[in-house]
C-alpha cells in the first residue's frame, strides 16, 4: 500500500514538473495571484489586473523573455491551484516562513515589512512598543497584529476591518492601530490628509517573495536573478513608490 502511494505521489510530482517545463518551453509564465488584494493584486474599474505584485511579476516575465498569464482566485483556492501545478509561481505577498519553506521554494524577496504602531498625529506619548501597555488598540479579534499589541499590554477594541480601525483612530476613540508599515503607506497615499502617523516601527523584519514548486530551483534562480536586476536598475523602487509613495523593496 505504501509503495503504491509513493508511486502515485512520484507520478504527481513528475506531471507537475513536466507541466512547468512545458509552460516555460512554450514561452508563457503563469502566475497565481488573488486579484482582490489591493494595492498588491486587484482589478481596476476597467477590469484590468493591476497592483504592486502584479507589476513586478510582469517585469520579471519581461526579463525572462516570457509572455505572462495570470490565474486569479481567493487565497485558499489560489494556493490549491498552484499546488495542483496550474501555475509556475505565486506573486501575492507570500511571507517567507520556515513552515512554507518545507513545502515551497522561494525566489528572492521583493518586499521588506516592519511592524508599525500607527497613532493620531496629536499623540506624542507612544514612542515604542513598550508604550502600548494600557492603550486601546483597534483590530480584528483574530489578527496576528492584535496578538502582538496584546503581548505588550494593549487592550484590543474589536473591529472587522482595517478601515474601521483607522476610523476609530482618526476620531481618537482608540490610541493605536498596530499593523505592518506597508498597509499604512497605502492608507496615507489614499488619504494624504489623514491626521495619523507611524509613531514607532519594530526592529524585526519580515519579507515577502515569489514561491515556486518545491524542487524547481532553476525557475526560482531565474526569477531571483530578474528581481535582483530590477532592484539594481531602480525598477522595484519605481513600482513601490507608484503604489505606496515609499520604497518597500529594500
Is the domain of 6 the same as that of 106?
A: yes
Cα–Cα dist 213/17, whole Å? 8
Is the domain of 214 the same as that of 149?
A: no
Is the domain of 201 the same as that of 164?
A: yes
Which pLDDT does position 142 carry in this prediction? 79
175 domain-assigned? yes
Cα–Cα dist 167/14, whole Å? 51
Is the domain of 69 the same as that of 145?
A: no
Mean pLDDT of 157-168: 94
The helix/strand/coil state of 38 is coil
Is the domain of 118 the same as that of 200?
A: yes
Q: Provide the pLDDT confidence category of residue 26 given band limits of 50, 70 and 90.
A: confident
Mean pLDDT of 22-44: 87
Is the domain of 102 the same as that of 36?
A: yes
Is the domain of 220 the same as that of 200?
A: no
Cα–Cα dist 113/158, whole Å? 24
191 domain-assigned? yes
Q: Please say if the pLDDT value at position 63 is more than 70.
A: yes
Is the domain of 10 the same as that of 100?
A: yes
Show the cell assigned to 153.
499590554
Q: Please say if the pLDDT value at position 15 is more than 80.
A: no
- How confident is the model over 72-105, as pLDDT tens digits? 999 999 999 999 999 999 999 999 999 999 999 9
Full domain range(s) for residue 194: 112-206
Task: Give how many domains the chain has, as a whole number.
Answer: 2
Q: Please say if the pLDDT value at position 38 is more than 80.
A: yes
- How confident is the model over 122-144, as pLDDT tens digits? 999 999 999 999 999 999 887 88
Long-range contacts of 165-173 (CB under 8 A, 24+ apart): 165/138, 165/139, 166/118, 166/138, 166/194, 166/196, 168/138, 169/118, 169/119, 169/120, 169/138, 169/196, 170/120, 170/194, 170/195, 170/196, 172/120, 172/122, 173/136
Is the domain of 16 the same as that of 102?
A: yes
Cα–Cα dist 181/184, whole Å? 5
Which CATH number characterizes residue 236's domain?
A: 3.40.190.10
Q: Calculate the alpha carbon distances from 104 to 15, 66, 92, 214, 218 in Å.
A: 17, 22, 14, 4, 13
Cα–Cα dist 142/136, whole Å? 16
- How confident is the model over 203-236, as pLDDT tens digits? 889 999 999 999 999 999 999 999 999 999 999 9
Amino acid at each position: 500500500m505504501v509503495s503504491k502511494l509513493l508511486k502515485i505521489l512520484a507520478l504527481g510530482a513528475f506531471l507537475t514538473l513536466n507541466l512547468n517545463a512545458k509552460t516555460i518551453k512554450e514561452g508563457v509564465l503563469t502566475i497565481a495571484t488573488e486579484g482582490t488584494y489591493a494595492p498588491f493584486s486587484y482589478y481596476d474599474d476597467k477590469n484590468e489586473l493591476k497592483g504592486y505584485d502584479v507589476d513586478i511579476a510582469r517585469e520579471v516575465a519581461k526579463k525572462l523573455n516570457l509572455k505572462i498569464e495570470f490565474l486569479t482566485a481567493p487565497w485558499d483556492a489560489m494556493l490549491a491551484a498552484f499546488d495542483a501545478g496550474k501555475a509556475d509561481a505565486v506573486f501575492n505577498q507570500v511571507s517567507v516562513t520556515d513552515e512554507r519553506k518545507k513545502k515551497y521554494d522561494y525566489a528572492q524577496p521583493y518586499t521588506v515589512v516592519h511592524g508599525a504602531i500607527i497613532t493620531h498625529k496629536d499623540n506624542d506619548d507612544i514612542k515604542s512598543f513598550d508604550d502600548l501597555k494600557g492603550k486601546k488598540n483597534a483590530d480584528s479579534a483574530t489578527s496576528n497584529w492584535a496578538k502582538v499589541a496584546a503581548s505588550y499590554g494593549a487592550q484590543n477594541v474589536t473591529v472587522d476591518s482595517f478601515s474601521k480601525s483607522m476610523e476609530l483612530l482618526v476620531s481618537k476613540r482608540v490610541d493605536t492601530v498596530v499593523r505592518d508599515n506597508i498597509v499604512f503607506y497605502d492608507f496615507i497615499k489614499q488619504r494624504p490628509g489623514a491626521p495619523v502617523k507611524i509613531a514607532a516601527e519594530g526592529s524585526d523584519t519580515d519579507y515577502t517573495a515569489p514561491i515556486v514548486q518545491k524542487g524547481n530551483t532553476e525557475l526560482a534562480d531565474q526569477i531571483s536573478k530578474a528581481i535582483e536586476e530590477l532592484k539594481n536598475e531602480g525598477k522595484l523602487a519605481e513600482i513601490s513608490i507608484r503604489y505606496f509613495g515609499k520604497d518597500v523593496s529594500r
